[in-house]
Amino acid sequence: MSDSFDLIIRNARGADGAPLAAGVRDGRIAALGPAVAGHGPEYDARGLTLGGGLRDHHLHLLATAARMESVDLTDCRSVDVVIARLRAGAGAPGTWVRAIGYDERVAGLPDRATLDHWLADRPLRVQDRTGGYWLLNSAGVTLLGEAPFPACVELGADERPNGRIWRGDAWLRDRIGAAPPSLAALGEKFVKWGVTGVTDAGASNGAAEAALLSGAMPQRLVMMGTEALPVGDGYALGPVKLLLDENDLPPVEAVAARIVAARALARNVAAHCVTLGELVFYLAALEVAGGAKPGDRIEHGGVIAASLIRDIAAAGLTVVTQPNFIHDRGDRYRAQMDGDMLVDLYRLGSLARGGVRVLGGSDAPYGDANPWVALRAATDRRTRGGDVIGGGEAVGRAEALALYEGPLAVGAQADLMLYAWPDDSDALGTVALTLIGGEIVWQT
């Protein structure tokens, strides 16, 4: 008697082009090979490639969903264009105008007085391109209420907020009572790209954020956060997130103490390391805390000196990089950095060759959330303008997919996609079918 399956995918191909079929039962891959003998509902792949679903290993879900509801200033290169975009995006009187992606090359980091010239009749909050600053006009500052203010709020000579708030997302959200954005549209966009799992990398994630994110999207969810982030339903508990800022680093012993505390909770640690200084500091803190453990992570690895690759590999650290930043920000890097420094940016190939485990994440909303942009950039290292940064860091398609793909093996969760990725170097992949836990969540 032949096997019964909940779904059989026939006439697919593997990444190597060979014929491939899969049988799904009880949410897992029950059969996999050139052909599957059995019966059940069938899906004709018509020669498309069958792969494990994609996983974004580093992003910020609430901020990404909010971006979809915000005025996007990413491509604005002059004050006049910024002003026009803000005023066009203004809603009803008294409602906030939320803007993201502001580039400080336009007019520096404006204070409340400057923003009043841009938009005065609505409360305005503008996030800079790094995600570190919120910039408020006077109408927005008024809604912050009265002192005292935390250290994240910059004060002017009059001891009043000057409109700049540095890494104060949680405080600002609590103070102005902003409603959380809907994650449904973001989840739908992800399944169309074949994304079946996400890791929220918020350093301040706790019980409140877990309540907002758990079950809000069809994707499997891993949550980083503070030591206080509890075990819960609807998500897997990720590493304790260490948010390091080279301009304001704490004593190394303080970070080492947090690492030790994470160990006591049986949790790994993951540190924000965009700059070389942040990376060296993190490596020192790990050493003070007794050394790295398997599963500890370097988030971003924005600048990694070649001399550190062997140390990172020996420590067993995982680097979670953003190939999409080479595309998204590469032209800015080329304009602002010396040529001999560009080779250290968002390394990929040299890390893999050096024995370092590497995963991929978008860092959305600060990078393009479409994983196919990152996959293309991993293979060609081209900027938006077409120049190449660190060509020796490019990897092949199989290696690029390994940064994001979940397992494709008998017994694994049936988180799958059917896709086409044309050979054209400019092409992005397209997805015809996405399964999560054996359930079809997207099909063309």
Render each residue's pLDDT in the chain as its tens digit; 444 residues: 469 999 999 999 999 999 999 999 999 999 999 999 999 999 999 999 999 999 999 999 999 998 888 999 988 999 999 999 999 988 888 899 999 999 999 999 999 999 999 999 999 999 999 889 999 999 999 999 999 999 999 999 999 999 999 999 889 988 998 778 889 999 999 999 999 999 999 999 999 999 999 999 999 999 999 999 999 999 999 999 999 999 999 999 999 999 999 999 999 999 999 999 999 999 999 999 999 999 999 999 999 999 999 999 999 999 999 999 999 999 999 999 988 889 999 999 999 999 999 999 999 999 999 999 999 999 999 999 999 999 999 999 999 999 999 999 999 999 999 999 999 888 999 999 999 999 999 999
CA dihedral 300, 222, 45, 3 (to 10 degrees): 140
Nearest to 223 by CA among 440, 62, 66, 67: 62
Predicted structure pTM score:
0.87
128 close to 84: Cβ distance less than 8 angstroms: no
